[in-house]
Amino acid sequence: MPRSLLIVNPISGRGFAGRSLPLMEQELKKYNIDYKLVLTERPWHAAELAEQGARDGYETVIIASGDGTANEVLNGLMRARLAGFDKTTMGQIAVGTGNDFAYGMGIPGGVEAGCKILAENYRRPIDVGIVKGGDYPEGRYFGNGVGIGFDAATGFVAAKIRWMRGLLLYLIAAIETIFVYYKAPAVKLTYDDKEMDISPLMLSIMNGRRMGGGFFFAPNGDPGDGSFDLCIAHAVSQLRIFGLIPYFMKGTQATQKEVIMAQARKVKVTAVQGTLPVHCDGETVCFEGKELTIELLPAQIEFITQKPAA
C-alpha cells in the first residue's frame, strides 16, 4: 500500500487545484513520494476519505486544496483519532482561494513549494480547536480559526464571487459587506476567567495567523503554542471600518483603540441581542447563531511543515 493518501478537491481555488494536477503528480514523483490519488466528489467527501485513510493505516493524508477541504480532512482525522486511529500525519499542498489554513501551518502557496515541504517531511504537533453551536451542536473541528461577525459576513459574500481568488477577492467582499452588514449584536463574551459585555464588529478566535487571504488577525499566532489568539474589534462606523482594514492587513490592529488582543484556551459567546454569523476555517458554522463554545485541544495531530530556521 502507498504510504500517503493524496486527496484532491479539483474545484478548489475556482478550479486551480484541478488544473494543477499534472504538475502536482510530476513534483511528487520527482521526490519519490509514494501515494494514492483520490478526487473529492461532494461536500464532506474529504472528511470521509481522510477518516478511512487513517483507519486503513496510511502514514500520511495529504490534502491538495484550500481552506474548506483542509478543514474537512482535519475533521476526518480527528474522528479517526477518537476511534483510536491516531497515527496518521496531515500534509497540505495549498492550491485554494485564500490558503489561510496552510499559511497558519507554515505552508506557502503553490504546488512546487508544497511538494518540496512534503519531501523534507519535517513534522510538528499542532493544536486543534472545536466549535460547538449553530449548525454543529456536537462540534466541528478547525485548524486555523473561527470568525464571528463582520469577518464571517465577508466570507459569505466572498463565496458568491466566482471570478477571482486570493486577497483581492476578500477585499472586494469586505468593501461590499461594509455597505450591507447589519448592526453588531450585543453579546456576552467569556474567555478563560474573563467576562465582558460588548457589541463587537467582529471576534476572531485564531489558532493560525490570518484569514481572508491576507488579514492578520493573529500576527503572532502559533498553532502549536497551546493557546488561541483573540482579536476583538468593537463596533465602529462604516467609514472607520475602511480606516481599520489596512491595520488588519499589516497585523498592527492592536495599536488601534477599538481593538483588543488576548489569549485563551476556552471561549464562550452568547448573543444577548441580535444573532451571530459564524465561520470556522472559512466554512459556515451558522448564519444566525445564538450561543457558541470554542475550545482548544492541544497537540492533537502531526502536521508536515517547513523546517524552523536555523
Residue 240 sits in the same domain as residue 153: yes
Please indicate, yes or no, if residue 306 is contained in any of the structural domains.
no
Please indicate, yes or no, if residue 83 is contained in any of the structural domains.
yes
CATH of residue 17 = 3.40.50.10330
Residue 57 sits in the same domain as residue 156: no
Residue closest to 203 by CA, chosen among 254, 278, 272: 278
Residue 87 sits in the same domain as residue 220: no
pLDDT confidence of residue 152: 74
Residue 70 sits in the same domain as residue 136: no
Residue 257 sits in the same domain as residue 293: yes
Residue 148 sits in the same domain as residue 71: no
Asked if residue 23 has pLDDT above 80, the reply is yes
pLDDT > 70: percent of the chain: 91
Cell matching residue 147: 470568525
pLDDT confidence of residue 306: 93
Please indicate, yes or no, if residue 213 is contained in any of the structural domains.
yes
Please indicate, yes or no, if residue 73 is contained in any of the structural domains.
yes
Residue 269 sits in the same domain as residue 147: yes
**How many structural domains is the chain composed of?**
2
**Run of H or E residues at 4:** strand 4-8
In this structure, of 48-57, 194-203, 259-268, the range with the lowest mean pLDDT score is 194-203
- Confidence (pTM): 0.92
- Single out the residue in 82, 101, 121 at which a domain terminates: 121
CATH of residue 230 = 2.60.200.40
Residue 152 sits in the same domain as residue 287: yes
Range of the domain at 202: 131-298
Q: pLDDT for 112-132, tens place per residue? A: 999 999 999 999 999 999 999
276 to 167, 192, 219, 248: CA distances (angstroms): 24, 20, 24, 21
Q: What residues pair up with 186 in beta bridges, in sequence order?
A: 273
Residue 283 sits in the same domain as residue 250: yes
Residue 65 sits in the same domain as residue 144: no
What band does 298 get if pLDDT is binned at 50, 70 and 90?
Answer: very high
Q: pLDDT for 36-92, tens place per residue? A: 999 999 999 999 999 999 999 999 999 999 899 999 999 999 999 999 999 999 999
Question: If you average pLDDT over each of 41-50, 209-218, 242-251, which comes out highest?
Answer: 41-50
Please indicate, yes or no, if residue 33 is contained in any of the structural domains.
yes
Residue 147 sits in the same domain as residue 293: yes
pLDDT confidence of residue 268: 97
Phi/psi for 236 (5° steps) reads -140, 175
How far is residue 202's CA from residue 185's CA, in Å, rounded to a whole number? 10
Residue 167 sits in the same domain as residue 28: no
